[in-house]
Structure 1
Amino acid sequence: MSKDMVVILTALNLEYQAVRAKLASPQGHLHERGTRFEVGTVLGTSCRVALGLTNKGNHSAAVIAERAIQEFSPAAVLFVGVAGALWDTARLGDVVVATHVYAYHGGTSEDDGLKARPRVWEAAHGISQLGSHLARVNDWADETPVRGRAPQVRFGAIAAGEVVQNSKISAQARWIRQHYNDALAIEMEAAGVAQAGHLNGAPVAIIRGISDRADGTKSSAKDRSWQPRAAANAAAFATRLAVELVREQEHSPMSQAGRALASDGRTAGVTNMAHNSTVGIMAGVVKESSVHVQGGPGAAGPADLVAELDDLRRHLTFHHAEGALDDDTHREALAELETARRAARENNSESSRKATMALKRLRGLVAEVPELVARLRPLVVAAGDLS
């Protein structure tokens, strides 16, 4: 994972330009399949941002988000842009940060009507907590308030569909009101990005500036005047969030321990503070109540990682037999595990990236099985340390 890198994606050029204006010296970065990104730093900081354009729609957004995660292994993915407000809960120019995302077009058509079968993705807890803190501090907006009112940050559900919603009285509007009445905003890309983040184990935040009320006024003069303001507000909050995310990564206890270990090359000690409980940890030496982890190069080589991956295969098979993993998930999980295993055996920087991303995708596949997620955490770290 690149602890100093955040990916920011947008669907529209107007949104892209609003984010780009916040970056210093953006440089082009070409993906091998032709997707273009720009990489720069947030003005006045060391936070790196890889900026990309997905175009409209959940499907396109999912593909580009997946590609960006694979290419950059970012600390987080932020999807930034404009959206329509629902039920007059957010004012024009306000910023809505998704606590969860509805893919609201899921359903089944039956004799007595259309029944909702939505998919839902919750925002990463750490990002939600940090976003709430920044909203309370309320020093992120850098523009003169319009008509004397500063934009506010609101937290709630965002509904993501496949059509432009521009009516309050259509059948679609009534459907959304009936099944998703807690949604604050509506748009067309969040579900795709959330799914890509989920499958790759990458934290995702959806940040939207309110440019219209989804009430028939899209493309009006008022909407055209509010779009750039809403996009700028979303970009301002998103880049501030990106800076703080990177700062937290760099100052996390694990990062500090890693830096201390790298600086002096000695063994790092981890003290066991648990009482009357069992602690499981991969360690070199255990002495009384202290656990000493072997440090330095070669502490956990590719052979060790391959052995751990082979052991993980046994646990995947067990949970599949117990019914915790369905057949499709089990098959996909084994494929990702084999990809990681092959990459670990190659033991170079490129294979390290491949192994890490395969294990992150695997973690997304088994996210509902806590024991497997816990087993994967140290393996993702170990894969990232291969060289």
Structure 2
Amino acid sequence: MAKDLVVILTALNVEYQAVRRKLAGPQVHRHKRGTLFEVGTVQGTSCRIALGLTNKGNHSAAVIAERAIQEFSPVAVLFVGVAGALWDTARLGDVVMATHVYAYHGATSEDDGTKARPRVWETAHGVSQLGSHLARANDWADDTSGHGRAPQVRFGAIAAGEVVQNSKISAEARWIRQHYNDALAIEMEAAGVAQAGHLNGAPVAIIRGISDRADGTKSSANDRNWQPRAAANAAAFATRLAVELVGEREQIAVSEADRAPTADRLEEHVSNTAHNSTVGIMAGSVRGSTVYVNADAKVTRPADLVAELDAFRGHLKRHHAEGALDEDTYREALAELGFACRAARENTAERSKRATMALKRLRGLIADCPELAAMLAPLVVAAGDLS
């Protein structure tokens, strides 16, 4: 998995260009299906960004997000751009980072009216915490000389649908403000990206600059004025967040390396604690009273991983029988598990990546079952260690 790369996606070219201006040395990267990304580093840092354009709409955004996750195995996916404000809480130019995303077009039409049936995705806790920390530090914004006050970061729900909203009095506008009155902003891509992240086990953050009020005052002239400014503010916050996410991941990796037992530590520990005792080891050899540990030995071999994945199928079946997994989730989970097993059995250079991505998608499906997620975690790590 890439420890130093974050995917940033945008829907509009003005948003894309706002992010691209923050990058040094962007190089074109072509997905096998023809989708083009540009990979560069945030200026002045070692944080790599894979930048892609999805075009408008949740469906297109979901497809491109899935491709980006499969292609880059990123630390996180950030969707960055502009949005309309639903209330006066967020002013033009402010940045809204979603705490959760509503797919507000989920509903049922009945004789007494339209009833909301939204899907909802929450932003990962760690990503939200970093975003809040950056907002408190308040040193992320570019120079706003000539643009009045500095932009502020707001945290709250974002509503994602399939139409451009530009009214306060239309039936749909009133319905949205009635049923989603905690949503700060409204746009057209966040639900698709959130779903792709959920299914692939990738953290997602939605970051939007407010360019209009979605209240009938949106116009081409106002868009030409506010869209570039709002997009630039969102890009500034998002790239800073990306740098923090990569830095945090690197710190975690260093901490885990420090805690990992080396051969010298293991030999010293066993020598000090196992004299005249029976010692069980998973790798290495014992000669007389000395234990020799092979530091290069893999604890989990492909055959071991396949066996553990087969055993995990039984845990899925049990949770399904107990009602913890619904039928659709159970079937999708079995499919991803089967894909991971097949990949682990392959004798190819890609098997580690293929098995890891399948298990990450499985992790997203079972995220609401802590017991299963805990069982799966070491298998994801083992898949990444396949050589």
Q: Does the pair score TM above 0.5? A: yes
User: Which residue number in structure 1 is paired with residue 108 of structure 2?
Assistant: 108
Give the deviation of 1:148 after TM superposition.
3.1
Q: 1:266 to 1:35 in 2, by over 3 A?
A: farther
Alignment-mate amino acid for residue 223 of structure 1: D
CA contact (8 A) 2:97 2:154 kept: yes
CA distance in 2, matches of 1:346, 1:230: 48
User: Which residue number in structure 2 is paired with residue 209 of structure 1?
Assistant: 209
Give the deviation of 1:300 after TM superposition.
1.4
Asked if 1:131 is matched to 2:131, the reply is: yes
Q: 1:74 to 1:259 in 2, by over 3 A?
A: farther
Q: Which has the larger radius of gyration?
A: 2
Once the two structures are aligned, what percentage of the paired residues are identical? 79
Q: 1:334 to 1:255 in 2, by over 3 A?
A: farther
Give the deviation of 1:219 after TM superposition.
2.7
CA contact (8 A) 1:261 1:268 kept: no
CA distance in 1, matches of 2:15, 2:46: 22
Q: Higher mean Cα deviation, 138-147 or 181-190?
A: 138-147
CA contact (8 A) 2:83 2:212 kept: yes
Asked if 1:305 is matched to 2:305, the reply is: yes
Large movers: runs of 4+ above 4 Å: 259-262, 264-269
CA contact (8 A) 2:84 2:212 kept: yes
Trace 1:1-387 onto structure 2 (pairs within 5 A).
1-252=1-252, 254-258=253-257, 266=264, 284=282, 295-387=295-387
Could you give the per-residue CA deviations for residues 136-184 of structure 1, whole angstroms, max 9, x where no partner exists?
A: 0000011224543000000000000000001111111100111000100
Give the deviation of 1:223 after TM superposition.
2.5
Q: Higher mean Cα deviation, 179-188 or 363-372?
A: 363-372
User: Which residue number in structure 2 is paired with residue 274 of structure 1?
Assistant: none
CA distance in 2, matches of 1:157, 1:46: 31
CA contact (8 A) 2:263 2:294 kept: no
User: Which residue number in structure 2 is paired with residue 278 of structure 1?
Assistant: none
Q: 1:267 to 1:311 in 2, by over 3 A?
A: farther
- Aligned with 2:3: secondary structure? strand
Alignment-mate amino acid for residue 65 of structure 2: A
CA distance in 1, matches of 2:378, 2:43: 34
- Aligned with 2:133: secondary structure? helix
CA distance in 2, matches of 1:294, 1:321: 43
User: Which residue number in structure 2 is paired with residue 280 of structure 1?
Assistant: none
CA distance in 1, matches of 2:349, 2:136: 41
CA contact (8 A) 2:15 2:82 kept: yes
Q: 1:268 to 1:374 in 2, by over 3 A?
A: farther
Q: 1:296 to 1:215 in 2, by over 3 A?
A: same
CA contact (8 A) 1:29 1:38 kept: yes
Give the deviation of 1:381 after TM superposition.
1.1
Give the deviation of 1:258 after TM superposition.
2.9
Question: Structure 1 unaligned runs (5+)?
Answer: 272-282, 286-292
Q: Normalising to structure 1: TM-score of the pair?
A: 0.90
- Aligned with 2:28: secondary structure? strand
Give the deviation of 1:370 after TM superposition.
1.1
User: Which residue number in structure 1 is paired with residue 276 of structure 2?
Assistant: none
- Aligned with 2:32: secondary structure? coil
Q: 1:233 to 1:294 in 2, by over 3 A?
A: farther
Q: 1:213 to 1:307 in 2, by over 3 A?
A: same
Give the deviation of 1:331 after TM superposition.
1.4
